[in-house]
């Protein structure tokens, strides 16, 4: 058996290539993966379910297929973690919620099915907060998920189980979803790469049998390198009839165009959105922004006032959650988490005039983005204003000793771009004084997912991060 102690840290695209070239076997990689999960998961609680026997059986079957020279796909043999808000055949989708503890889906989500068809092997489900509602990962079924850089801190939410699994090299690839920052927040707090595509880029199914009208949430991945995410998006993106809002495949390979970042881009940098940013986070983000100047792009610091969309995002999300869960609330009210269900039922008090005001404010932010991208090719911001907070929460209510104007100030840079639908990514900006990762957010015009990934890749090449991960 090949020495896997170093191989588990290799990027997903390298591991897949080694398997296709028959330099390592899928079963060898899977054995090392399961061994690592067994050793680390009790400390981190990244995975809430493991399908150990089936995953190994599938890896052994792939060994035989490769030996027979069969085409096993671009993700050949890659162990995959699936966030527990997304369906996987044979495993419950609990949504981190007690009333759904034994909820068995009819099959795989479109995203999972596409990844499996490309050769990925599902290892298990990664932990998430109840219905993905918080920026840290804790629920009443599976408990608290912890950050590999410091287990007393959160890996973020709601894709916190996936980010902890990636940052600790339990798996090379894990799915996530992002309705207000739930891919970018965990990526920032764990130093991974997190990409939120344009709304509709990856199909999203109906939730509990109800078609979603809230056009803010997307599926995607958490990875250790940009190229791994580009490879993932090449497979996961593209129209599917299960999602009438899904977009056609762009018709080109994101992975193939990573090195084609245009020269002399016009880049805007907004350092704070009018909010407080932790001083060492601001320092590291400024260093990260300077990389784009060194690459020959023109960076302009902007301070335009940002329309406040925090209340808008809460109203839009709460109404859909209430509609989705309405039939389950009364029979199971006591089983839901108290803070979660209180936030959901509060949506009953939202009036249509208030909803209209929310959408007018949403339009104001969309107009703000339009004016930015009329003048600039990219927008840079911090991903988050702080480093990771306590694993059990709550999010910080003050920064630099100053109180936040409202609780959403802790995630002020992520959720606005869910409301606007723009593609955005978090790259590792550096480390705070306490040794925790912090992030730089890269945003582009709608449908320019390629430009976000190209800019992310250029930054990654200039300032590599894949050689530094936590020692656990």
Which tokens is 329 given? 């609330």
> Please, which residues bridge with residue 379 across strands?
268, 443
Q: Within 10 A of 20 (CB to CB), how many other CB atoms are there?
A: 17
Catalytically annotated residue among 10, 25, 27, 83: 83
Measured CA to CA, the distance from residue 413 to residue 349 in angstroms comes to 27
Integer Cα distance of 83 and 426 in angstroms: 19
CB neighbours of residue 280 within 10 Å: 18
**CA torsion sign, 81 to 87 to 89 to 93?**
positive
CA pair distance 55, 422, nearest whole angstrom: 36
Separation between Cα atoms, residue 4 and residue 22, nearest integer Å: 15
Pairing of strands 378-382, 298-301: unpaired
Calculate ∠ Cα 151-128-338, nearest 5°. 100
Asked if the bond preceding 158 is cis, omega within 30° of 0, the reply is yes
Q: Which of 300, 285, 465, 270 minimizes the C-alpha distance to 365?
A: 270
User: How many whole angstroms separate alpha carbon 423 and alpha carbon 383?
Assistant: 13
Kindly state the greatest CA–CA separation across the chain: 65
Strands (E), 327-460: 378-382, 398-399, 402-403, 424-431, 437-444
* Catalytic member of 158, 162, 177, 426: 158
Q: What's the Rg (C-alpha) of the chain? A: 21
Phi-psi region of 281 (alpha: psi -120 to 50; beta: other; left: phi over 0): alpha
If you count DSSP H runs as helices and E runs as strands, how many of each does the chain have, helices first?
A: 13, 15
CA distance 391 to 166: 17
Q: Which of 298, 420, 426, 311 is nearest to 368 (CA)?
A: 420
| Tokens, residue 115 | 């990844």
Say whether 182 is catalytic.
yes
Catalytic residue among 182, 217, 420, 456: 182
Q: How many residues does the chain have?
A: 472
Determine whether 214 is exposed, middle or buried from the number of CB atoms within 10 Å of its CB (0-12, 13-18, 19+): middle
> DSSP characters for 311-336?
HHHHHHHHHHHHHHHHHHHHHHTTTS
Q: Is the dihedral of CA 192, 198, 204, 209 positive or negative?
A: positive
> Looking at the annotation, which residues are catalytic?
83, 158, 182
């Amino acid at each position: 058996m090949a020495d896997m102690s170093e191989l588990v840290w290799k990027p997903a695209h390298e591991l897949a290539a080694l398997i296709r070239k028959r330099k390592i076997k899928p079963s060898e990689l899977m054995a090392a993966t399961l061994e690592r999960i067994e050793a680390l998961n009790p400390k981190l609680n990244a995975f809430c379910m493991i399908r150990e026997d089936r995953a190994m059986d599938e890896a052994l079957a792939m060994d035989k297929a490769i030996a027979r020279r069969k085409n096993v796909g671009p993700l050949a043999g890659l162990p995959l973690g699936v966030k527990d808000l997304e369906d996987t055949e044979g495993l419950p989708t609990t949504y981190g919620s007690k009333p759904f503890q034994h909820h068995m889906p009819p099959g795989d989500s479109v995203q999972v099915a596409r990844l499996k068809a490309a050769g990925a092997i599902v290892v298990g489900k990664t932990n998430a907060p109840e219905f993905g509602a918080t920026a840290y990962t804790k629920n009443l079924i599976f408990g608290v998920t912890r950050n590999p850089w410091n287990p007393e801190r959160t890996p973020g939410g709601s894709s916190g189980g996936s980010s902890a699994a990636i940052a600790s090299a339990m798996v090379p690839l894990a799915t996530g979803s992002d309705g207000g920052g739930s891919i970018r927040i965990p990526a920032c707090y764990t130093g991974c790469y997190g990409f939120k595509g344009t709304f509709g880029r990856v199909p999203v199914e109906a939730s509990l049998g109800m078609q979603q009208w809230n056009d803010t949430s997307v599926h995607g991945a958490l990875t250790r390198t940009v190229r791994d995410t580009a490879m993932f998006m090449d497979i996961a993106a593209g129209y599917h009839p299960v999602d009438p809002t899904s977009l056609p495949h762009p018709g080109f390979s994101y992975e193939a165009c990573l090195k084609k970042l245009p020269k002399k881009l016009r880049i805007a940098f907004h350092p704070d959105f009018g909010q407080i940013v932790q001083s060492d986070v601001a320092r590291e983000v400024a260093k990260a922004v300077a990389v784009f100047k060194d690459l020959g792009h023109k960076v302009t610091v902007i301070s335009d006032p940002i329309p406040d969309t925090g209340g808008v995002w809460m109203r839009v999300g709460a109404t859909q959650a209430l509609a989705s869960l309405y039939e389950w609330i009364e029979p199971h009210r006591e089983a839901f988490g108290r803070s979660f269900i209180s936030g959901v039922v509060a949506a009953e008090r939202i009036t249509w005039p208030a909803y209209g005001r929310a959408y007018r404010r949403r339009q104001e932010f969309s107009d703000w983005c339009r004016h930015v991208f009329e003048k600039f090719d990219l927008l840079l911001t911090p991903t988050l204003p702080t480093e990771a907070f306590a694993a059990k929460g709550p999010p910080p209510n003050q920064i630099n000793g100053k109180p936040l104007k409202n609780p959403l100030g802790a995630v002020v840079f992520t959720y606005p771009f869910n409301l606007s639908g723009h593609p955005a990514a978090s790259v590792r900006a550096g480390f705070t004084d306490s040794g925790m990762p912090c992030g730089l957010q890269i945003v582009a015009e709608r449908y320019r997912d390629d430009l976000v990934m190209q800019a992310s890749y250029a930054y990654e090449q200039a300032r590599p991060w894949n050689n530094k991960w936590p020692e656990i």
